[in-house]
Chains A and B, each alone.
Chain A
């Protein structure tokens, strides 16, 4: 996936001279996850810019660049380091268009590696997507596989609104076929995708949990259960049409994410489903999420994070309802 993101960034930099990449250690080092490897050598230090170590500074300066016609692609090194930039993102990036009565846009992308499962120390395994999805004016997307990574990063850069782009760091090394010669993206950035069709229940997931859900669906098949897996891809806006159509087909929905449950994406999705599919539902919408705790010591993360068993446990409860 890192290579797909790298190729997507390279193509965006090549296609539009206004695209800049900006962040800590992204130049010579190529980023701590090597997503920007080689880009500075190819496009120069004016377009692939190593920044001082200050997240608020990176995002705030990118607002200025964006206001003057550039398209900055910001890298926040780890999920837990985005909070110093929170004020700039929530109070400035998100509402520049609104404040200027639609005159200014801030077409920037803020890339954030997120999620746990890599045995990291604290502040390196967070899932802060709900904070941003809660903020009007921001778009929030996340890729789950290399093909999406390649196209979604380009689509996010081309978008005239600010996009928070979450990258599931535990899936960075996932492999997949990507046709970098293809002319166009296979689908809209804001569309969800049915990854695996099924009839008994719908698993709604995004980012790192998509693979977990697909594995759960494969395991369920052996038990004679047919689960549909939907990769949400976009968390704001949500693709209600795809979500609701799937739940209407199966009558059961389980939302899965690493982030804590309280006021997480699952809460919003469950609310929308019950409002729109009340009579089609065969069981309450369930959530499988991180527990309502700060991210715990990494030797306990396997129990903290939703896994195949916890997903199937929820499936059992839904089907038994």
Chain B
């Protein structure tokens, strides 16, 4: 009886706020402490109620497909390339900035398609494509700057590009010539992470370090930083990610949890991971969650800028769900035809993150076809550099691997390395 009463009570709150359902970033829902929305709703948790979690009277009635409701997000440039007004978010940049974003997206895609081609030719062991997720990555990355910290998963090639990492370095990891550190990697861009979700906790710790280093909540906003951690929809099922949410909330750590919901954890659709839209999970942990059109580079940048500023200023973490689509395979080892329909991919192709920006810029006259042609030529040059750079990557030497296991090599390893070298040398003599 107690449980039933509690449940209906939540449902009633949902009904009274019915109008706000789906309009996730109304002013009342903005989580600034002291705002009317925060005060009037804090009994039940400000975000939960403000974001309309209680739409349905029972869990069972929440349709599985709700998580795939693509209209429920912040959008500033629609798929036809038209600017869209939003009550809360606006893109602060100029058409010149948009053209710069387009350039980054086009080049990121070219890096990606070239890497996929290199894998097909046997030059890489594996490649996890970002195809379709260019806006999510470029838009969010362009909202960051030092001393922000970037904590990637393993698909953030576009973010790496924006942070000045040489894409040839990335190839080394997937060619098997290197682990995950790269000569061109700046300190603020952490190592790629392959065990799903683990990096979210590392991001919390890095954010706690920012707090202790006096890099959060300063009057001078340029002195503040936040940790931006990337993960996917599948990762949200991992214990580590949920623990990261809890830790970040507990310490009001400056973390932007940037979830690229690309609809699939390899073969498993988002509905298997979550019965509610992912951004609403943040409510239960006590911090704001926002869903953004992950294929709209303007909206992604605007929302990320707001979230990072929120974190940098000391107000705590934010979850961004960038609603996008993995147009390619999970990795080059994967075959998506086994688990999804071609029509679905076709529908998403119409929402391409790059085409809409081209349409927009040509429409406003900010850029012309000649500019696009020059960009295409630039991307071909980049691809050429990747092809040449990939095969020229230095081969790793096994004997050097012993140096990186400990700060100082223990005797056992010293001996083992010497034995290995002697063993290898025995073949040289035999020749």
Contacts and interface: CB of A to CB of B under 8 A. Distances in A.
Query: Do A and B assemble together?
Result: yes
A135 B125 CA distance: 34
Interface residues of A, number: 39
Contact of A293 (B196, B240, B402): B402
A84 B401 contact: no
Contacts of B178: 297
Interface string A289-321: 001111011111101100000100100000000
Contacts of B405: 292-294
Residue picked from B180, B267, B413, B423, most chain A C-beta under 10 Å: B267
A54 interface: yes
Q: Which of B175, B176, B334 has its CB near the most chain A CB atoms (within 10 A)? A: B176
B423 A29 contact: no
Contacts of A28: 267, 338-339
Contact of A299 (B175, B195, B234): B175
Contact of A303 (B272, B339, B398): B398
Contact of A297 (B195, B235, B396, B424): B396
B218 interface: no
B237 A121 contact: no
B100 interface: no
A120 B238 CA distance: 23
A50 B195 contact: no
A120 B402 CA distance: 20
Contacts of A123: 194-195
B273 interface: yes
A25 B194 contact: no
A53 B238 contact: yes
B420 interface: yes
A53 B398 contact: no
A27 B268 CA distance: 9
B395 A52 contact: no
A56 interface: yes
Contacts of B413: 292-293
Interface in A25-40: 25, 27-30, 32
Interface in A92-147: 119-124
A318 to B, nearest CB: 15
Contact of B396 (A32, A81, A296): A296
A120 to B, nearest CB: 6
A52 B179 contact: no
Contacts of B412: 262, 292
A21 to B, nearest CB: 15
A53 B194 contact: no
A228 interface: no
B237 A122 contact: no
Contact of A291 (B176, B195, B334, B420): B420
B125 A298 contact: yes
B58 interface: no
Nearest to B395: A299
Q: Interface majority SS on A: helix, strand, loop or mixed? A: loop
Contacts of A303: 398, 420, 424
Interface in B46-92: none
A300 B265 CA distance: 30
Contact of A53 (B273, B401, B423): B273
A53 B397 CA distance: 35
B126 interface: yes
B12 interface: no
Residue of B125, B180, B240, B333 most packed against chain A (CB within 10 A) = B125
B268 A119 contact: no
Interface string B334-359: 10001100000000000000000000
B273 A30 contact: no
A52 B242 CA distance: 14
B273 A52 contact: yes
B125 A300 contact: no
B266 A121 contact: no
A25 B272 CA distance: 11
A53 B111 CA distance: 28
A57 interface: yes
B177 interface: yes
Given A84-B239, A121-B126, A297 B268 contact: no
B173 interface: yes
A24 interface: yes
Contacts of B268: 24-25, 50, 52-53
A50 B272 contact: yes
A313 B422 CA distance: 12
27 contacts: A24-B268, A25-B268, A27-B267, A29-B338, A32-B333, A32-B334, A52-B237, A52-B272, A52-B273, A54-B237, A54-B238, A56-B239, A80-B194, A83-B195, A84-B195, A121-B125, A121-B126, A121-B194, A124-B194, A292-B405, A293-B401, A296-B396, A297-B177, A299-B177, A299-B396, A300-B396, A304-B401
Interface of B: 125-126, 173-180, 194-196, 234-235, 237-240, 265-268, 272-273, 333-334, 338-339, 395-398, 401-402, 405, 412-413, 416, 420, 423-424
Leading 6 A-B pairs by shortest Cβ distance: A298-B176, A29-B267, A52-B237, A53-B234, A300-B398, A119-B125
